[in-house]
Amino acid sequence: MTTTRASLRSAGAATVLAVLALAGCAEEEPVAEPTATSTATDDAATSSAAEDAQEETSSDDAAADTATQTEQADATSAPEEPEELELSASDDSFSVTFPAGWEDATSTAQEQTETAVLAARDGERVDSFYSNIVITQEEYVGNLTSAVESSAEQLAGEDGEYELLEPAEVDGNRAPGYTLVREVQDATVHQTQRWVSHEGTLYVVTLSAVESQADEAEPVLEDLLASWSWND
């Protein structure tokens, strides 16, 4: 166990720092109210009735033409699909893809830990929490499976819950992992870690989501691992 102790401490810190509960809210823009109009006199209304009728006819014709053009444009133009977010690690070792709606949060993660090489979060905050994925670069571990199991037990403690997972395929590498449930900032947070060892370097991938978003966030991690591509 002495060969993995430093890495366990490092991975434990990565799990703690992976919780990017970033604050922020959208401000509503004021809605413009219609301006009041003055009432014309009866004489003015009578004298301009013919002109108003002619203008109304012209306006109706113009509106009809505009509607026709709009319908033709809608029929020929298909709605644009939202683009996925493709990111590369800051050490340029790999690239991964996140779903549309996720945002790059690498700089935020690196402010919390210098081991972070990539991070992203969901653009929508739920229960005051952004689902997020943080990838850190850690010290090499010889027995990866044993280290993952020991880390899960250590981080869960006596009251926490964890479950070991079958290794996932990550561009030619096997990535063991586990899920963990714990309380963070008065919220129940579900976290999943995958440990990926590649050419003497260990990368720890951590997904964090509040309980209400755990089932929705898990496929994001699965798709990310499937999209993983080494740049060497």
pLDDT tens digits, 58-75: 555 555 566 556 565 555
Largest CA distance in the chain: 100
Q: Which two tokens stand for residue 111?
A: 């402010």
- 118, 135 in Cβ contact below 8 A? yes
pLDDT at 19: 58
* pLDDT tens string 138-155: 888 888 888 998 888 887
Q: Which two tokens stand for residue 225?
A: 């691992």
- 11, 125 in Cβ contact below 8 A? no
Q: What stretches in the chain show pLDDT beneath 70?
A: 1-81
Closest alpha carbon to 206 in 144, 131, 145: 131
pLDDT at 29: 31
Whether the pTM exceeds 0.75: the reply is no
pLDDT at 141: 82
Residues near 19 by beta carbon (within 8 Å), at least 6 away in sequence:
132, 184, 185, 189, 208
pLDDT at 66: 62
